[in-house]
Amino acid sequence: IRCQSTSTEEPKTRRNLLDNASNFLTNLLSGGSLGSMPIAEGAVSDLFDRPFFFSLYDWFIEHGSVYKLAFGPKAFVVVSDPIVARHVLRENAFCYDKGVLADILEPIMGKGLIPADLDTWKQRRRVIAPGFHALYLEAMVKIFTDCSERTILKFEKLLQEETLNRGRKTIELDLEAEFSSLALDIIGLGVFNYDFGSVTKESPVIKAVYGTLFEAEHRSTFYIPYWKVPLATWIVPRQRKFRTDLKVINDCLDGLIKNAKETREETDVEKLQQRDYLNLKDASLLRFLVDMRGADVDDRQLRDDLMTMLIAGHETTAAVLTWAVFLLAQNPSKMKKAQAEIDSVLGQGRPTFELVKKLEYIRLIVVEVLRLYPQPPLLIRRSLRSDVLPGGYNGDKDGYKIPAGTDIFLSVYNLHRSPYFWDRPNEFEPERFLVQKKNEDIEGWAGFDPSRSPGALYPNEIVSDFAFLPFGGGPRKCVGDQFALMESTVALALLLQKFDVELKGSPESVELVTGATMHTKNGMWCKLKKRLT
Ligand code: HEM
């Protein structure tokens, strides 16, 4: 959480801003009687000195898996418990909405799935989720491969130049920035068949996407709704820029929607799901959404859907790849093991859907990265009615009554690093997902059992009974989970097929900052050396 004041604001506007902030915090932190719940007292410095979720972790160890975090007179509930998470996300999911998150994202995503009201969400989820069917994902593996190869080619050219000009055998690159471009290209092609080409060029649309992402990030780390200040979007230069950026993206999306509608070939869902995806010129989700019989929708809603997926599916995947190289670079034996698997499964060839199934170790690396660096580290909910949270594994066994309007932070970071559910929770051990873990001591938690989700390529919240939640769970679970997991697997495999990667500086010099995702303060600078083949 960061705070700053802008010197360009008038004193009166600033007073309004503070009033607004206080109202907002009142809503955000609406507490009420939370019974015997342990209380952590937050100091303002906890919000500024380091990423917020580190403090949430320390309080979790001190106060248990469900506690009330109080800042002054207000409070919110922090949950680090799979049994309570399962209740909020799945068992009583419709008793909660996205609370403050919806306030932040609505101006950007409109009525897209993440901030949408319940009725809109139900309607759109029913239409969008079938779009991520098996043949679509198979076609996406081709797009992931094409785009990753474009990135690798760029690295190879840079290395050639470096060798020619300076006689060096390594290049230094900020891989976080490179992965961000790669993920943007992939999401553009996969979701609306638009090639940003950002790996190799800059354009006004690309700049606008980054501007919008920056603002979305800033809003999610700044719990004061400065963007709601009257006239701010017209007067404050940053807000004006944000409006302009949004317009650039919206115009681009509107053009793509218009084009897709003009070439519409209406058909049933089942037929759509059986198209020859690998040979379709446009295999995108937009094509599916427009062609689907009975799913007529206005352009504005379609644009909100696309914008939501653009934002939700871009930085998240880029972050997985970034932290994957961070962890692998510190574990050379695991990097070698990964490369041995790639050599044996792919050789010098390209990944396909079938081959991804054989890249077991790379898939485990991807999920282990998501365990240690979940994106986002917190899930946010607000209770629409009063509810009783189940007793957590080390909390009050009778459970806690919470009033309507309670804000809840489900700390995925705490769950994923909980010493109660994971052995050596802070260690990078992809192999851990192969091991069954029973825990009879923990009443109400079914333990960790890979066989519980037969056929799933990647461990999920079901095998872990909500101790591992990289994509949430229940009805609001990520729609793009398989897309993102395969994308990360393919991109990582192609990078390690060609290059050895080392960090440029020490791991400690990589500063972590967090907003919607966890990223670095100054980039993930790495040295890349071509592998001998
Ligand atoms: C929702 C994580 C990639 C689209 C979510 C949620 C999580 C998540 C945790 C649930 C949020 C909540 O319950 O509050 C991730 C991660 C990704 C990723 C870690 C990458 C590694 C993607 C991609 C897409 C996507 C690639 C689209 C192509 C969405 C959408 C939702 C969502 C639309 C809202 C679902 C709903 O409310 O019905 N994501 N996501 N995500 N994600 Fe992802």
Gyration radius from the chain CA atoms: 23
Rounded CA separation 181/96 (Å): 35
For the purposes of burial, counting CB atoms within 10 Å of the CB of 269, is it exposed (0-12), middle (13-18) or buried (19 or more)?
Answer: middle
Q: What is the pLDDT of residue 201?
A: 86
Q: What is the pLDDT of residue 8?
A: 30
Task: Tell me the pLDDT tens digit for each residue of 339-358.
Answer: 999 999 999 999 999 999 99
Q: Which two tokens stand for residue 368?
A: 């282990």
| Residue 110 pLDDT class (50, 70, 90 cuts) | very high
Which residue has the CA at smallest separation from atom 6 of ligand 1? 478
Separation of CA 155 and ligand 1 centre (Å)? 29
Rounded CA separation 300/306 (Å): 10
Separation of CA 233 and ligand 1 centre (Å)? 28
Instruction: Write down the H helix ranges in 231-352.
Output: 232-235, 237-262, 269-272, 285-291, 299-312, 315-329, 332-345
Separation of CA 117 and ligand 1 centre (Å)? 17
Residue 252 is assigned to a ligand binding site: no
Lowest-confidence segment of 10-19, 30-39, 40-49 by average pLDDT: 10-19
Flag whether pLDDT at 426 surpasses 80: yes
Lowest-confidence segment of 193-202, 210-219, 281-290 by average pLDDT: 210-219
Q: What is the pLDDT of residue 45?
A: 67
Separation of CA 168 and ligand 1 centre (Å)? 41
Tokens 């917190």 — which residue? 378
CA proximity to 179, closest of 287, 32, 318: 318
Work out the number of other CB atoms within 10 angstroms of the CB of residue 73.
9
Q: What is the pLDDT of residue 76?
A: 86
Q: What is the pLDDT of residue 11?
A: 37
| Residue 57 pLDDT class (50, 70, 90 cuts) | very high
Lowest-confidence segment of 173-177, 372-376, 394-398, 406-410 by average pLDDT: 394-398
148, 155, 168, 358, 502 from 533: Cα distances, Å = 19, 17, 19, 21, 18
Q: Is 383 in the pocket of ligand 1 (CB under 6 A)?
A: no
Task: Tell me the pLDDT tens digit for each residue of 293-310.
Answer: 988 889 999 999 999 999
For range 181-190, the mean pLDDT: 96
DSSP state of 390: P
For range 234-262, the mean pLDDT: 89
* Residue of 27 and 316 predicted with greater confidence: 316
| Residue 391 pLDDT class (50, 70, 90 cuts) | confident
The atom number, within ligand 1, closest to the CA of 129 reads 38
Q: What is the pLDDT of residue 224?
A: 63
Separation of CA 46 and ligand 1 centre (Å)? 28
For range 96-109, the mean pLDDT: 90
* Residue of 331 and 444 predicted with greater confidence: 331
Q: Is 489 in the pocket of ligand 1 (CB under 6 A)?
A: no
Tally DSSP H helices, then E strands, for the chain.
Answer: 20, 13
Contact assessment for residue 367 and residue 82, using Cβ atoms and an 8 Å cutoff: no
For range 117-129, the mean pLDDT: 95
User: Which residues have CB under 8 Å from 344's CB, separation 6+?
Assistant: none
Percent of the chain with pLDDT over 70: 88
DSSP state of 218: H
Q: Please state the length of the chain.
A: 533
Contact assessment for residue 484 and residue 460, using Cβ atoms and an 8 Å cutoff: no
Lowest-confidence segment of 39-53, 200-214, 313-327 by average pLDDT: 39-53
For range 123-148, the mean pLDDT: 97
Q: Which two tokens stand for residue 492?
A: 């990582």
Q: What is the pLDDT of residue 253?
A: 95
The H or E element that residue 40 is part of is strand 39-41
Q: What is the pLDDT of residue 216?
A: 79
255, 308, 451 from 463: Cα distances, Å = 42, 28, 7
Beta bridge partners of 520: 512
> Is the ipTM beyond the 0.90 threshold?
yes
Q: Is 308 in the pocket of ligand 1 (CB under 6 A)?
A: yes
Tokens 């909910």 — which residue? 381
Lowest-confidence segment of 28-32, 387-391, 458-462, 478-482 by average pLDDT: 28-32
Type of residue found at 153? L
Q: Is 257 in the pocket of ligand 1 (CB under 6 A)?
A: no
